[in-house]
Structure 1
Amino acid sequence: MIVGIGTDLVVIERFKRMLDERPKLGERLLTDGERRLSVESQAARFAAKEALAKALGSPGGMRWLDCEVVRSDDGMPSFVTSGSVAARIEALGITRIHLSISHDGGYATTMVVCEA
């Protein structure tokens, strides 16, 4: 059963400007591994975290670093969660999270579907 759906769209140039103007922002939003990626991929991962938060009902108190977007050997993206994000997933009884990511033409977009 679907218990949450979230989507997000990020303008990559705007995201880059935010990171340039506030250097510590990247450390609050993205894990070390995520910050090593291109700005397009960083924007897509931020969008994925936003979409997941929406799918989880946007509860307060969730930490950005309690969620990391990773890729399997075949390139499929997924989340690794801990702390506040993992607790919310458990509270909702979520057993599977689907994630789709795309970035092109100056935009990064994501879709998340949570199942229980």
Structure 2
Amino acid sequence: MIVGIGTDLVVIDRFEEMLKRRPGLAERLLTEGERALSIESQAARFSAKEALAKALGSPGGMSWLDCEVVKSDDGVPSFATTGTVAARIAALRIGRIHLSISHDGGYATTMVVCEK
């Protein structure tokens, strides 16, 4: 049973400019491992977190750092969650989260589907 669906689109240049204008913002949005990636991949991971928040009903109080986009050995993306994000997932009794990420042509886009 689908509990939530979320999508998001990020303009990569705009995301990069936002990070430059606001020192320390990257440290509040992205984990250390995510910050080590290219700007395109950083934008895609931020987009994924936004899409997940939407799929979870956009509750307040969730920390961006309680969610990290990771890849399997095969390159399949998924979320590693802790703290506030993991608590919301547990409260909704979500058993599986599907994640699709793409970035091309100056845009990063994601789709998330949460299932019970």
For the superposition of Structure 1 and Structure 2, which TM-score range results when normalised by the shorter chain?
over 0.9
Task: Supply the AA of the counterpart residue of 1:9.
Answer: L
Please name the residue that 1:15 is paired with: 15
Please name the residue that 2:25 is paired with: 25
Q: Give, in angstroms, the shift of residue 23 of structure 1.
A: 2.2
Distance 1:37 1:20 in 2: 16
1:18-37 deviations in Å (ceiling 9; x for gaps): 11111200000000000000
1:36-85 deviations in Å (ceiling 9; x for gaps): 00000000000000000000000000000000000000000000000000
Aligned 1:93-112 pairs, distance under 5 A:
93-112=93-112
Query: Which consecutive residues of structure 1, in runs of 5 or more, have no partner in the other structure?
Result: none
Q: After TM superposition, where is structure 1 displaced by more than 3 Å over at least 4 residues in a row?
A: none
The normalised TM-score by structure 2 is: 0.99
Q: Alignment length, in residue pairs?
A: 116
Alpha-carbon RMSD across the aligned residues, in angstroms, is 0.3
Distance 1:57 1:16 in 2: 27
Query: Which consecutive residues of structure 2, in runs of 5 or more, have no partner in the other structure?
Result: none
Aligned 1:10-89 pairs, distance under 5 A:
10-89=10-89
The percent of aligned pairs where both chains have the same amino acid is: 82
Please name the residue that 2:5 is paired with: 5
